[in-house]
């Protein structure tokens, strides 16, 4: 097989596999089985395309093969039950009737199928880790190896999560459907949570040798944009897309030439992607004009927009950011929100006011191992000239993070505090 054919098949699979799995899942009502059938279609492509060439409609070709495999499966496993045998014959007749129109075979009910697949992969019956892995596998088109590499865990661990997730969905008899109105909001919230978790792992990696992983952000953005197209009148979907677009606009400016982290206020804003900012602001406007109370993603997008609209850090409207964090604390209270609010208060009303709020969080159990608590506290202490205390906080934050570039940054800040303290004492 030529490398060009390899690359073509990889590209086709990444783009078309969500459509393929979603369409097959509608037929067989089993996400795990649908993925197996899709893999069978991929194997067929790997065997035939090197000789025949990539077809004009590769997605439709894969869907046609997958449907034939689905019919074979139904016949093979349910022949004992007449109604299933009749179903197999009916599906075969439908397939033969459509055979000349391969484009139609991939497009039928595509939007509804993909939405069903999103809700199924992100079902609350699954653990958060399982939802993330299954979503990237089924909807992101990533291999198990790629997911494992992205999240810095063994490939076998990801494989087990995916297998267990499929088994859990089957045992819980989760229906392949868009949830009814009564549970739709909660289920949609689960989908948004998974997409944003994926994005955040790319935006600020929890561990490893890289601080940012743009490819993971792009996977999340693609999922978010797709969801926004499927449910265009859901304001929080637009809000999440706005938040991710604006944050992604900073990716090129977030690291230096050696991959070292560059904090927001130190970034070269000319490197921010203005196209992504415009897209994000447009999505934010759509979210705000759809009506209803603003949700947490939309409020966070509004905070990000305060930075995106300014050309220099000095122009930032920190008082508005504080007001937005006040609103976020009302609708989605959490210690992390309070920590961010404390940092914003420090920028708007002085470091002493911010430190007072942050100090109130030092006994919060959920933040005991959260390295950004001492990091924020250290930053506020620097602004107050309390360098010895700030050094201790940065050292503590460095010991808590598992990301190597971030650890180096925190240790550099601790060393800078030590120098400032020595110089102050030497005067």
In the chain, where the domains are located = 3-108, 205-309
Q: How far apart are CA 244 and CA 165, in angstroms?
A: 27
State how far the alpha carbon of 128 is from the alpha carbons of 110, 148, 378, in Å: 26, 15, 31
What per-residue confidence (pLDDT) applies to 11? 82
What per-residue confidence (pLDDT) applies to 103? 43
Q: How far apart are CA 327 and CA 296, in angstroms?
A: 9
Q: Which residues face 261 on adjacent strands?
A: 255
What per-residue confidence (pLDDT) applies to 310? 95
Burial 235-257 (b: 16+ CB within 10 A, else e): bbbbbbbbbbbbbbbbbebbbee
Q: How far apart are CA 186 and CA 191, in angstroms?
A: 9
State which residues of the chain have pLDDT below 70: 1-3, 77-111, 426-427
Q: Which residues face 208 on adjacent strands?
A: 403
| Location of structure tokens 């075979």 | 105
Q: Say if CB 387 and CB 424 are below 8 A apart.
A: yes
pTM for the whole structure: 0.85
What per-residue confidence (pLDDT) applies to 109? 52
Q: How far apart are CA 123 and CA 367, in angstroms?
A: 27
Please give, one letter per residue, the 3-state secondary structure of the chain: CCHHHHHHHHHHHHHHHHHHHHHHHHHHCCHHHHHHHHHHHHHHHHHHHHHHCCCCCHHHHHHHHHHHHHHHHHHHHHCCCHHHHHHHHHHHHHHHHHCCCHHHHHHCCHHHHHHHHHHHHCCCCCCHHHHHHHHHHHCCCCCHHHHHHHHCCCHHHHHHHHHHHHHHHHHCCCCCCCCCHHHHHHHHHHHHHHHHHHHHHHHCCCEECCCCCHHHHHHHHHHHHHHHHHCCCCHHHHHHHHHHHHHHCCHHHCECCCCCECCHHHCCHHHCCHHHHHHHHHHHHHHHHCCCCCCHHHHHHHHHHHHHCCCCHHHCCHHHHHHHHHHHHHHCCCHHHHHHHHHHHHHHHCHHHHHHHHHCCCCCHHHCCCCHHHHHHHHHHHHCCCHHHHHHHHHHHHHHCEEHHHHHHHHHHHHHHHHHHHHHHHC
What per-residue confidence (pLDDT) applies to 101? 43
What per-residue confidence (pLDDT) applies to 98? 46
Q: Say if CB 219 and CB 140 are below 8 A apart.
A: yes
Q: Among 336, 416, 326, 322, which residue's Cα sits nearest to residue 372?
A: 336
Q: How far apart are CA 305 and CA 247, in angstroms?
A: 9
Q: Among 18, 13, 10, which residue's Cα sits nearest to residue 111?
A: 18
Nearby residues of 416 by Cβ (< 8 Å), 6 or more positions away = none
């Amino acid at each position: 097989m030529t490398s060009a054919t390899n690359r073509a098949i990889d590209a086709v699979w990444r783009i078309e596999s969500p459509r393929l799995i979603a369409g097959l899942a509608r037929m067989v009502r089993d996400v795990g089985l649908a993925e197996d059938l899709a893999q069978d279609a991929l194997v067929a492509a790997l065997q035939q395309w090197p000789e025949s060439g990539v077809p004009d409609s590769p997605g439709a070709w894969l869907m046609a093969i997958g449907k034939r495999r689905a019919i074979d499966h139904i016949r093979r496993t349910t022949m004992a039950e007449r109604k299933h045998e009749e179903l197999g014959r009916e599906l075969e007749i439908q397939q033969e009737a459509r055979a000349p129109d391969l484009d139609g075979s991939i497009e039928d009910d595509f939007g509804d199928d993909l939405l069903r697949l999103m809700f199924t992969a992100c079902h609350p019956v699954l653990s958060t880790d399982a939802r993330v892995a299954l979503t990237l596998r089924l909807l992101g088109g990533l291999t198990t190896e790629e997911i494992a590499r992205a999240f810095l865990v063994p490939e076998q661990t990801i494989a087990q999560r995916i297998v267990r997730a499929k088994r859990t969905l089957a045992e819980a008899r989760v229906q392949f459907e868009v949830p009814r109105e009564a549970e739709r909001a909660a289920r949609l919230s689960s989908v948004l949570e998974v997409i944003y978790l994926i994005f955040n792992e790319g935006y600020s990696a929890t561990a490893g040798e890289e601080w940012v992983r743009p490819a993971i952000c792009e996977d999340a953005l693609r999922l978010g944009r797709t969801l926004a197209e499927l449910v265009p009148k859901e304001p929080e979907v637009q809000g999440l897309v706005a938040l991710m677009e604006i944050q992604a606009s900073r990716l090129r400016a977030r690291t230096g030439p050696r991959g070292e982290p560059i904090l927001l206020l130190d970034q070269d804003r000319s490197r921010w992607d203005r196209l992504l900012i415009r897209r994000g602001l447009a999505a934010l406007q759509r979210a705000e004009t759809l009506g209803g109370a603003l949700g947490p993603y939309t409020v966070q997008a509004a905070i990000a927009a305060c930075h995106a609209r300014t050309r220099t850090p000095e122009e930032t409207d920190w008082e508005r950011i504080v007001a937005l964090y006040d609103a976020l604390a009302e609708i989605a209270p959490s210690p992390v929100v309070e920590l961010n609010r404390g940092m914003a208060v420090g920028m708007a009303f002085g470091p002493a006011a911010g430190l007072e709020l942050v100090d109130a969080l030092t006994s919060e159990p959920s933040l005991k191992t959260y390295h950004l608590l001492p990091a924020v506290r250290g930053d506020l202490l620097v602004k107050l000239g309390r360098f010895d205390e700030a050094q201790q906080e940065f050292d503590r934050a460095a010991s808590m993070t598992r990301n190597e570039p971030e650890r180096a940054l925190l240790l550099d800040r601790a060393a800078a505090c030590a120098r400032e303290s020595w110089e102050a004492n030497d005067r």
